[in-house]
């Protein structure tokens, strides 16, 4: 029985994204994603986090895996994967080494299991994870998978061109050491039986720069939500708007204070006392990338237009007065002290009722799209 060992290489001295491997991705260190996937897979005899930094040893311990202290000289910008993989194989007992890159955080335990099984079952010396590029591809400005003298083919009819996914690599110890001794290189397999394993979707994401990290953050949030929300398409007559000032003005609120926000402590009663109690107004209290909170005062009969949000669950605290909350054909009577939650995709319209001014504290996000239907009336 072959001993299969997983190695996750994670140096701390990355240049394009400083300390990339311990940077939080959706509130979890980047390296932790592939560590958890490796642990969840059931194909390894041992799992190691390979790093020059003791700072990462605590993450390895937290995930229940071993820590391999890489020599400092193998963590420099000049050191390559060929070098530190050889060092690891010379010091750790393994027949097959599976390398999992932490810069591919969306690799799954199922894919890792299938990859390791493919390596062993087919008796490969080297197994390379790849992705299929089913689009016109060039090399040195010459076509690879299409004829430039023929009509443009449909993309689904093109022969896919394979490129390294890098997420997963595997080598047998014997072939790796032999190739390194012979060529001073072993990463790509050199001599020996080489196979490819195709990855798809999010598993091909590889974080190399800041833009990649930002994209990964969006993907991580989407994966966390799962398929909870249905696919939606633009309907005729729908109007999208995320400009809060314009939205308030078109809702009839023309006295808006929008530049006195993000104080450590905000005294709501002081804001209310400084504004008229017989007219509509708004005051933005919080305005950050993740949160927006605004006091909105309106008189009886005033309110907003019917709309919904496709990507946000909105909520309000009623500071003063009474409101009629129309939600999907129902009218809710809301009073001071109530908290109201409207889930995404639910059409709603808010109208001040009762006697005198009513004030609501609207909690949202700066860039939330308001989607209006028709003239915004019920």
* Domains of the chain by residue range: 4-225, 238-373
Strands 314-320 and 358-364 turn out to be antiparallel
Eight-state DSSP code of residue 213: H
Instruction: Please state the rounded mean pLDDT for residues 178-189.
Output: 95
CA-only gyration radius of the chain, Å: 29
Residue pLDDT, tens place only, 103-148: 999 999 999 999 999 999 999 999 999 999 999 999 999 999 999 9
Q: Which CATH class is domain 238-373?
A: mainly beta
Contact 68, 7 (CB under 8 A): yes
Q: What is the pLDDT of residue 247?
A: 92
Confidence label for 151 from pLDDT (cuts 50, 70 and 90): very high
- Is 283 strand, coil or helix? strand
- Give yes or no on whether 4-225 and 238-373 have one common fold: no
Contact 287, 322 (CB under 8 A): no
The two structure tokens encoding residue 104: 């591919």
Environment class of 157 (CB within 10 Å of its CB; exposed 0-12, middle 13-18, buried 19+): exposed
Contact 371, 239 (CB under 8 A): yes
Range 4-225 classified under CATH 3.50.50.60:
no
Confidence label for 229 from pLDDT (cuts 50, 70 and 90): low
With tokens 């007559």, the residue in question is 237
Residue pLDDT, tens place only, 306-358: 999 988 899 999 999 999 999 999 999 999 999 999 999 999 999 999 899 99
């Amino acid at each position: 029985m072959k001993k299969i060992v997983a190695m996750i290489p994670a140096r701390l001295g990355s240049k394009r994204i400083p300390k990339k491997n311990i940077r939080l991705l959706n509130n979890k260190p980047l390296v932790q994603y592939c560590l958890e996937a490796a642990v969840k897979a059931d194909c390894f005899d041992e799992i190691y986090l390979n790093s020059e930094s003791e700072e990462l040893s605590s993450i390895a311990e937290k995930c229940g895996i071993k820590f391999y202290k890489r020599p400092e000289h193998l963590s420099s910008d000049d050191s390559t994967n060929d070098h530190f993989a050889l060092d690891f194989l010379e010091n750790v007992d393994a027949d097959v080494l599976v390398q999992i890159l932490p810069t591919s955080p969306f690799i799954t335990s199922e894919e890792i299991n299938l990859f390791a099984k493919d390596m062993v079952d087919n008796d490969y010396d080297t197994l390379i994870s790849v992705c299929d590029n089913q689009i016109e591809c060039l090399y040195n400005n010459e076509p690879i998978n299409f004829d430039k003298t023929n009509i443009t083919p449909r993309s689904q009819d093109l022969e896919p061109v394979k490129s390294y996914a890098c997420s997963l690599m595997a080598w047998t110890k014997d072939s790796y050491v032999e190739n390194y001794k012979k060529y001073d290189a072993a990463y790509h397999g050199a001599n020996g039986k080489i196979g490819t394993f195709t990855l798809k979707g999010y598993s091909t994401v590889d974080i190399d720069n800041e833009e990649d990290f930002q994209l990964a953050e969006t993907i991580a949030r989407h994966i966390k939500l799962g398929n909870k929300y249905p696919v939606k398409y633009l309907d005729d007559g729908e109007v999208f708007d995320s400009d809060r000032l314009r939205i308030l003005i078109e809702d009839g609120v023309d006295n808006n204070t929008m530049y006195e926000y993000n104080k450590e402590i905000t005294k709501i009663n002081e804001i209310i006392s400084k504004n008229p109690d017989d007219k509509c107004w708004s005051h933005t209290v919080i305005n950050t990338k993740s949160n927006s909170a605004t006091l909105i005062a309106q008189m009886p009969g005033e309110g907003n237009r019917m709309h919904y949000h496709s990507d946000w669950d909105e909520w309000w605290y009623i500071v003063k007065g009474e409101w009629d909350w129309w939600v999907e054909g129902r009218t809710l009577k809301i009073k001071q002290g109530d908290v109201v939650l409207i889930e995404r995709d639910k059409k709603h319209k808010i109208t001040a009722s009762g006697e005198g001014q009513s004030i609501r504290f609207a909690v949202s996000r700066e860039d939330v799209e308001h989607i209006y239907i028709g003239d915004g009336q019920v």
